[in-house]
Amino acid sequence: MIAILGAGPAGAAVALGLRRLGHDVTLVCEWRRFAALEGVSIRVLEALRGAGLQHALAQATLPSQRQVSWNDQQHAQNIEYLLDRPDFDRGLREDLRLAGVDLIESRVSSVQPLPTGHRVEIEGHDALIADFVVEARGRHAPTPGKGLRGPETVSLLNRWQGAAGDTASAVESLEDGWAWMARRADGQCYWQWTLDVASAQLPSKAQLLDYCRQRRQASALAREFFGAAPEVDLQLQARSSTAILCPQVCGERWIRVGDAAMAVDPLSGNGIFQSLSSALQAPTVINTLLRKPERAALAQRFHQQRVEQLFLRFARIGRDFYADEQRWREQPFWRARRQWPDAEVAHAEVDFAALRIECAPVLKEGFVDEAEVVITADQPLGIWHVQGVELAPLVRRLRAEPVGQVLAELTVEQGRMVKSWLLAQGFKP
């Protein structure tokens, strides 16, 4: 039996993936302690749909026009989708139930290693003896050792009942941080202010709610966005939003996924997407560790490398977005974030001549295997195939044969997809 600790999108996606591979799964989780709204892009919805989380999506998706005020420029972005987390979490549980996942709604008090698995102690329940444990409890999961951390960051969330109106969302850069705001049609309002821990001069906890209200009302965008209706049942929630990469994310009988493996800066708006990015590969990694233990080192290397690469990619995208704000370059919040995690470009120049072919771990027929992959500027761990066409033999042939001859054996759809990939890599026919 496999025990999954945490039923957010990452834990739920792993559970569904393991059930499809024929594993018995028990998931232990607590209900979210506060209501929240999250803004996500269309690709997040596609990833959730691909993971099989249909009921979660059906109950929680609200399309919203998003305004952006950044670097003294205002514009309307594409549609942002608002996920109501209480509804979304209920949908997750329904998806799990329909997949045959045993669900225990309680708090995990401890996890103790055994010679052949783990003992999971649960408040108010008998202990579970699991062959394998998936840690998916998010940022609050116990972390072994000190991993890579970004600038220490805190987000202060205000939630209140305002006047009914159109669903909408907005982002605004401020001298000492940035704010995300959203309004549901029923008048539920959200304003989240993200700050630098080291330089923020916040008042005492008793004064913090009024201080947030003052800061919010000092913003012309926020005043226009929320209007002048009374703020009924105004609440405050503080949470860490520091970017964190766990030092080790996989072992012989355990794995970390989602925010428990890597938690990104909320600026990207892709928290759920990055959680799923690490979770969707995890069932195959676990399947390999349990059913093909001779490939354990390969499977662990695959998961560790993929998580680290995803984390750095999201961190660099966030860094570049912070660097776009030029008005307060030397303020502590902005100075720290436009220089972290490094100076490497988020999107390297493409060069077909620079493509390399190497042997690397890949996902193949439910297991981690090894195959020749093509190392590209945007895929430093390699890409194996496109539309079912293995790329390493194709790239090798293109260096010696005419492109028409190389692609002649492909179907029309394969040819279209492969040509698109080749052009994106700087190939010049």
Does residue 279 carry a pLDDT above 80? yes
Which residues have CB under 8 Å from 272's CB, separation 6+? 9, 38, 40, 44, 47, 48, 83
Q: Among 23-27, 54-58, 231-235, whose mean pLDDT is lowest?
A: 54-58
Which residues have CB under 8 Å from 375's CB, separation 6+? 355, 356, 357, 358, 381, 382
Q: Which amino acid is it at 187? A: G
> What are the structural domains of the chain?
2-63+80-147+243-323 (3.50.50.60), 153-240 (3.30.9.100), 352-424 (no CATH)
Range list of β-strands (E), 23-167: 25-29, 37-40, 61-70, 73-84, 102-105, 108-114, 117-122, 128-130, 132-135, 148-149, 153-161
Question: How far is 407 from 428, CA to CA, in rounded Å?
Answer: 14
Interval 289-307 mean pLDDT: 96
The pLDDT value given to residue 429: 78
**DSSP letters spanning 241-300:** ---EE-S--B-SSEEE-GGGTEE--GGGS-HHHHHHHHHTTHHHHHHHHHH-GGGHHHHH
Q: pLDDT digits over 387-396, tens only?
A: 899 999 999 9
The pLDDT value given to residue 269: 60
- Structure tokens that stand for 271 in this block: 């928290």
Q: pLDDT digits over 30-89, tens only?
A: 877 777 788 888 888 888 888 888 888 886 667 887 889 999 998 876 778 888 888 888
Q: Which amino acid is it at 196? A: D
Question: How far is 368 from 206, CA to CA, in rounded Å?
Answer: 52
Beta bridge partners of 254: 133
Higher local confidence (pLDDT), 243 or 268: 243
The pLDDT value given to residue 108: 95
Average pLDDT of the chain?
Answer: 91
3-class DSSP assignment, residue 46: helix
Interval 279-294 mean pLDDT: 96
Does residue 268 carry a pLDDT above 60? no
Entry pTM: 0.91
Does residue 254 carry a pLDDT above 90? yes
Does residue 136 carry a pLDDT above 60? yes
Does residue 260 carry a pLDDT above 90? yes
Question: pLDDT-derived band of residue 270, with 50, 70 and 90 as boundaries?
Answer: low
Q: pLDDT digits over 331-380, tens only?
A: 999 999 999 999 998 888 889 999 999 999 999 999 999 999 999 988 89
Q: Which amino acid is it at 74? A: Q
